[in-house]
Structure formats: C-alpha cells, structure tokens
Amino acid sequence: MYSERVNIGLAGFGNIGSYFYKILEKNKIRISNKTGKIPFIKYISAKNFKKKRIVAIPRSKLVKRSIDLVYKEDVDVIVELIGGSDGPAKKLVLSALKNKKHVITANKALMAKHGNELAMLAEKNNVNLEYEASVAGGVPIIRSIKEGLIANKINKIYGILNGTTNYILSSMERKNKTFFEVLNKAKKLGFAESNPISDLNGNDSAAKLRILSSLAFNRSISKNEILTEGIQNINLTDILHAKSLGYRIKLLSISEIISNKLMERVHPCLIAKSSYIAKIDGVLNAVVVDGLPIGKSVLQGEGAGPGPTSSALISDLCSIMKGDISYPFGVSSHLRKNISKFNILNHRCSSYLRIEVKDLPGVLSSITKDFAKNRISIKNLIQKPNRKNKKASIIIITHENLEKNFKNLILSLIKNKFVLKKPTFIRIENV
C-alpha cells in the first residue's frame, strides 16, 4: 500500500533511543496511515551494544560511529540522541545538515548554543531541523508556537520547564520533607539523575528558555547572560512560610519583551496558590504563552522520560514524512535579528525575605531602618522568636520595587550587626 519508505539513522541507543525504537515499531502502521509513508530505522549507533536493552536489535542495523550514519546513502533522517552541546552531537548534526539529511534532536544544550548556526544550515540545504523533544518533552510547545499560534504577537512566555525541580518543591511542601530527603527519593524513583546539578541550579531550564524566547519573539537565540538561580538553597522553612501566606514556591522560567528589550530569567518564585501554574505538581511541566489576540494559552504535560520524549520525536518524524519543509524557528533566519538585553536591575517585583537575627531589643527597629534606607516598603511582617536559642526569624513581604534596590537591601542586611546570616530572598511573581 505504501511504496515510499523513510529510512532513519538513530544516533544514541540509551533509555530514550531504545524506547523510541520500540514505540516506532509498535505504531508503524498508525504512522503510515497518517503520513502515507513507512518509517524504518535502518541503522543504529551506540557506545555499547552489549548493554542490556528493552529491545533486541538485528546486527545488520549496527553502526560503530554515529558520524558514519551521515554517509549512508540510504538514510533520509538522522535522529540525534547523543546529548551535549558540542563534541560528537554537534559534529553529527552539522555533517547531516551539510549532506542534506533531515535532523531530529532532543538536545536542548546543542540547540540553545548552536541553534542559530544549525537553522541557517538547514535552510540553506532545504532540509528540516526538528527539536520538539528538546523543551518540555511531551508538551508540544515548539510546534504550537511555530504553527498553532502563528497569528499571535507574543509578549511573554513563562512556565515550569524542569520536572525534577518541580517534583522536589512539590514533595517538600506536600510531605513536609527537607530538600535533601526529597532529592534522595527523587534519585531512587528515577525523577532525578545521579548528578542533577544542571537541573537544580537552573541551567537546564535556562537552555530551554533560550529556545522558547527565540521562537516566541522571532529573534536569534540570545547569547546574553540569563539571570539563573536554582533551588539548592530553598529551605523547608520557606516553603511552609510561603504556604501559610497563601503562596507556593516554584522554579519559573520567564521571558518577556519590555520596552523593546528582552528579559530572560530563571529563579524560584512565590506564586499565589490560586494561580494555575502554582497547581502544577510532581514531574509535570507547564508553559503559558501570553499574546494577542489569543490572551493566555496554557500547555502542560510530562516534561521528561522515555515516553514523552519519544512522543515528541515521533511527532517531528511525522512532520518530515509528510513533506513539510519549514523554517526551524518559524521564520527565515535572515529575519531573526538580535535583540538588546533588558537590564535586570530595572526589573520591578515584590519579594519575600526571611531574616535570621539575634533576639535582642532594637533588632526590629534596625531592620526596618535598612528597608527605609533602600526605599523598600514593607507590606507584611511576621516575627517568630526562638527563645531557647536567643534568635528570631523575621518574615517580610514587600511591596513592588526595583531589583537593584533589593540587591542593595541584601548588602545592607548582611552588614547589620543583628543579622546572623545572609537573608533568604525570593521574588513574588504575579502570574
């Protein structure tokens, strides 16, 4: 019935690669019915073929080096699942595009760092560069921005882009557990890698945000430094205080245009419990696109793992099989311009501060003087003494002010003779 077969070279055969192979084989007829073509994994490269996997592979498909896939004349599409922003992954994708092979990748680091160059190369050679799986896994946010929201002028895009950190923060609140207790449980359950530093410090989310920003605003991928703060210093105490005040703490990735300049930031936020994004629990991801005329559009789903990632990879494959040659970032590269960086110090927000102090007369007066000196108005103040240790915690919710004033306030508080350690500072986001 289907005369044309689309041959695939699969580079990387770990958990994701094995699952992708399994799901593609299982759904081959369904895919063929919808595309009119037959998907066929012709060759596979991997570091170690002796490793036990969920599927058995015929020896005829095995290729030692990933780069050799490029030079197979009977390969139409390269699926890159190697990982890493440079090295073999970059070499493979560059070579594939130069040799007029379509490319599908789940590699956010590669796209965030080299996406501009790769997009130009794909356009030059009239092939596809697809990367739906690089951001939010099973959430079809990239195709939604490129196609579904094409008529909208997007002003802001934000959301939860990392399932590991969301699981940790959700579990700390729900189970009343410390950061390290929950992190260890996440590793045992497979929700966190053995070394999850790029998740915890916000770098994973920042890479994804660069990609979304470029798509949303039709701009080149920014090389600007992104304000990036992780969750390593989020204390159970702060989560419980936030909860009592009507907030939840989430690691948000936010990109918006302010005065024709781009502001990108990743950091923990206090969000009102009633907010949609505050209700996203566990390993789920969610992205909110704010634009005209649509208003706010929300997509949510599992952001990582073999299932969601494979779903996104197959979606990209089907797009290629249908013969849709499209610009990787929605518009031609020559129309994607650089955009100036908005000075984060001029960003306005309200904030939560927890200040550990000596429990002595005159402390509160001294603290409030530091706030007044930096022109920051206090909205709410709670003092929680610990008589046993002659210490106290002062919890303060501020009115909106400039980032630079908060920065100066922190410096003032650190120098205050009554303050025992650097205060905890978390921005409050109205989303």
**Catalytic residue numbers?**
208
Q: Helix 179-189 crosses helix 163-175 at what angle (to 10 degrees)?
A: 120
Token pair, residue 91, equals 């070499």
Query: Residue 13 carries which side chain, given as an amino acid letter?
Result: F
Number of alpha carbons in the 13 Å side-chain half-sphere of residue 187: 11
Please identify which residue in the block is written with the tokens 């015929």.
Answer: 58
Number of alpha carbons in the 13 Å side-chain half-sphere of residue 180: 0
Question: With contact defined as beta carbons under 8 Å apart, do 228 and 161 qualify?
Answer: no
- Residue 252 forms beta bridges with which residues? 267
Neighbours of 127 (CB within 10 A): 22
Question: With contact defined as beta carbons under 8 Å apart, do 160 and 139 qualify?
Answer: no
Question: How far is Cα 168 from Cα 177, in angstroms, rounded to an integer?
Answer: 9
